[in-house]
Amino acid sequence: MTLGLVGMLAITPFAIWRWVRQEYVLALLDTGLLAVIATAMIWGWRGGPIRYIAYFATLPVSAFAAVISLVSPESGYYWVFIAILTNAMLLPRVGVATMLSLAVVGVALLLGGTNTAFHMTTVAVTLVMTVLFSWVFASRAESQRRQLESLAMSDPLTGLDNRRAFEQAIAQALHEAKDGQQIFGLALLDLDGFKEINDTHGHEAGDAVLRQLSRLISDYLRASDRLFRIGGEEFVLLLPGADINGMRARMENLRGRIESNLQCRGEPVTASIGASGWQPGDTATSWLMRADAAMYRAKHKGRNRVIVHELSAAA
């Protein structure tokens, strides 16, 4: 939105000036570019997908820079710099931004108006340096974006995916289940007596138990399974392809592994697990609530056990 606003303010005076001077070709180019920028801003303001908006904006800007450098080479080369920077800032892939910018530079230099060798060399070197600097900027920005996305989706204590990641994953699972692409099981796991562990042994001991549990579960799961820590001592497992019987057997096996291997200061630590399969009409909330209710039934029945919610006959 900021780039669009700056572009509108910068290009509008040129468009008006060229219409007044009856330079219709250049005026049409400026007006067309303003229309593209305005459309992209409105699209973005209304919540459109940024990836598509970026391509919608950068491709016409690059084309505009290439064309105007041919039509009016004495001033058109300056617009190539704007196109390079726009590509680097907006396009989601550094390689695409760099290749598009180099293509614009190539068109501007090879097909542009005649100039002295010194002038062309100066322009060429400056443009290529701008592309290289933009590549460095875009590469660092993309790397930082990926790091921020990873931090936003990861639990800092265990390194597992967090609740935000779970919300995205369950939304995708609901979509696939609704379309009949896959069946899913959902299991909610909660450590038994975790508050007592923290109160008796301290939070460092509790954190160590959570990290140990994360590794234990991760080593047990299949490659297609997903494990999330959604808060405190609660973990969620998303199990593609798991029907009720298979989910019950696998969760019972996992419960036994936890009972046999998870300890805190030499004392065994157990877990209660509630599970439920997907059924038609489910939302993320309703599905998770069934697993949560099953997990609490496991707690009330003595802990260290697995309860699987039986699907209704209609499902």
CA–CA dist 104, 112 (Å, integer): 11
The β-bridge relationship of strands 267-268 and 271-277 is unpaired
pLDDT digits (tens, 9 = 90+) for 49-74: 888 888 888 888 888 888 887 877 66
Q: For 280, which DSSP code? A: T
What pLDDT is recorded for position 115? 66
* Chain mean position to CA 241: 25
Residues ≥6 apart with Cβ < 8 Å to 217? 189, 227, 235, 237, 254, 258
Angle at the Cα of 285 from the Cα atoms of 234 and 183, rounded to 5 degrees: 90
Domain ranges of the chain: 2-153, 163-309
pLDDT digits (tens, 9 = 90+) for 243-280: 888 899 999 999 999 999 999 988 999 999 999 999 88
What pLDDT is recorded for position 311? 65
What pLDDT is recorded for position 113? 58
- CATH number listed for the domain at residues 163-309: 3.30.70.270
**Counting beta carbons within 10 angstroms of the beta carbon of residue 59, is it exposed (0 to 12), middle (13 to 18) or buried (19 or more)?**
middle
Strand partners, 61: none
Classified as helix, coil or strand, 186 is strand
- Token pair, residue 130, equals 């701008």
CA–CA dist 292, 234 (Å, integer): 10
CA–CA dist 164, 162 (Å, integer): 6
Neighbour tally for 279: CB within 10 Å: 15
156-184: average pLDDT? 90
Mark whether 167 is an active-site residue.
Answer: no
Given a cut of 50, is residue 11 above it in pLDDT? yes
**Residue 234 backbone phi and psi in degrees, to 5:** -100, 135
Residues comprising the chain, all counted: 315
Candidate from 101-115, 216-230, 250-264 with smallest mean pLDDT: 101-115
- Token pair, residue 70, equals 């041919």
The β-bridge relationship of strands 271-277 and 306-309 is parallel
CA–CA dist 189, 197 (Å, integer): 17
Write down the catalytic residue from 74, 233, 252, 310. 233
What pLDDT is recorded for position 66? 84
Question: Is 284 within 8 Å of 224 (Cβ atoms)?
Answer: no
Question: Is 160 within 8 Å of 231 (Cβ atoms)?
Answer: no
Question: Is 83 within 8 Å of 106 (Cβ atoms)?
Answer: no
Instruction: Mark 34-43 as b/e (b = at least 16 C-beta within 10 Å).
Output: bebbeebbeb
Given a cut of 80, is residue 150 above it in pLDDT? no
Residues ≥6 apart with Cβ < 8 Å to 60? 32, 33, 36
- Mean pLDDT of all residues belonging to the chain: 88
Question: Is 220 within 8 Å of 237 (Cβ atoms)?
Answer: no
What pLDDT is recorded for position 109? 78
